A = this chain, B = another copy of it.
Amino acid sequence: MTFWKFFFNYHKSKTSDNKKIKKNKELCIREVNRERIYLSTCKNIDVEDLEKLCDSVGWVRRPLRKVKYALENSFLIVSIFLYKENKKQLIGFARVTSDGSFNATIWDVVVHPDFQGNGLGKLLMHAIIKELRTYDISTITLFADPEVIKFYKHIGFTIDPDGVKGMFWYPI
Contact = CB atoms under 8 A, between A and B. Distances in A.
A133 B171 CA distance: 8
Interface stretch (A17-25, A29-37, A62-70, A86-94): A62-70
B169 A165 contact: no
Interface in A71-129: 71-75, 95, 97-105, 107, 129
A163 interface: yes
A104 B152 CA distance: 21
A149 interface: yes
Interface of A: 62, 66-67, 69-75, 95, 97-105, 107, 129, 133, 136, 138-146, 149, 152-153, 155-171
